[in-house]
Amino acid sequence: MLKTFSLGGIHPPENKLSARKGLKDLPLPKMVTIPVSQHIGAPAKILVKRGEEVKVGQLIAESAGFISANIYASVSGKVKKIDQVVDASGYRKESIVISVEGDEWLDTIDRSDILNKTIELSPQEIIDKVAEAGIVGLGGATFPAHVKLMVPPGKKAEVLIVNGVECEPYLTSDHQLMLERGEQVIVGVQIVLKALGIDKAIIGIENNKEDAIKHLRMITKNHPNIKICPLKVQYPQGGEKQLIKATIDKEVPSGALPIEVGAVVQNVATIFAIYEAVQKNKPLISRIVTVTGKSFSNPSNWRCRIGIPISHLIEQAGGLPEDTEKVISGGPMMGKALTNLDAPITKGTSGVLLIRSLEARRKEMQNCIRCCKCVRVCPMGLEPYLLMQLTERNYHDRLEKEDVMDCIECGSCSYTCPSYRPLLDYIRIGKKDVGQIMRSRKK
The string of DSSP letters for 147-204 reads HHHSPPTT----EEEEE----STT--HHHHHHHHSHHHHHHHHHHHHHHHT---EEEE
pLDDT at 141: 85
Express each pLDDT in 299-352 by its tens digit: 999 999 999 999 999 999 999 999 999 999 999 999 999 999 999 999 999 999
- Give the orientation angle of helix 173-180 with respect to helix 268-280, to 10 degrees: 50
Burial track 187-220 (b if 16+ CB lie within 10 A, e otherwise): bbbbbbbbbbebebbbbbbbebbeebbebbbebb
| Residues forming a β-bridge with 176 | none
Give the sign of the dihedral formed by CA 181, CA 182, CA 184, CA 189: positive
- 333 with 273: CB under 8 angstroms? no
Binding-site annotation: residue ranges: 368, 371, 374, 378, 407, 410, 413, 417
Tabulate helix, strand, coil % of the chain (nearest 5): 30, 20, 50
pLDDT at 298: 95
CA distance 303 to 26: 6
pLDDT at 220: 98
pLDDT at 433: 96
Triad 173, 232, 355: Cα angle to 5°: 45
Binding-site annotation: residue ranges for [4Fe-4S] cluster: 368, 371, 374, 378, 407, 410, 413, 417
- 100 with 75: CB under 8 angstroms? yes
**What number does CATH give the domain 123-280?**
3.40.50.11540
- 179 with 20: CB under 8 angstroms? yes
Question: How many other CB atoms are there within 10 angstroms of residue 221's CB atom?
Answer: 9
Burial track 114-139 (b if 16+ CB lie within 10 A, e otherwise): eeeeebeeeeeebbebbbbbbbbbbb
Predicted TM-score of the model (pTM): 0.96
Give the sign of the dihedral formed by CA 397, CA 399, CA 403, CA 406: negative
Burial track 365-378 (b if 16+ CB lie within 10 A, e otherwise): eeebeeeebbbebb
pLDDT at 1: 82
Q: Which residues contact 125 (CB under 8 A, 6 or more apart)?
A: none
- 25 with 302: CB under 8 angstroms? yes
- 379 with 410: CB under 8 angstroms? yes
pLDDT at 442: 81
Which residues of the chain register pLDDT less than 50? none
CA distance 428 to 408: 10
Residue 309: name the closest of 88, 53, 112, 120 by CA.
Answer: 88
Domain boundaries, the chain: 123-280, 373-442
The percentage of residues in the chain with a pLDDT greater than 90, rounded to a whole number, is 95
pLDDT at 53: 98
- 412 with 169: CB under 8 angstroms? no
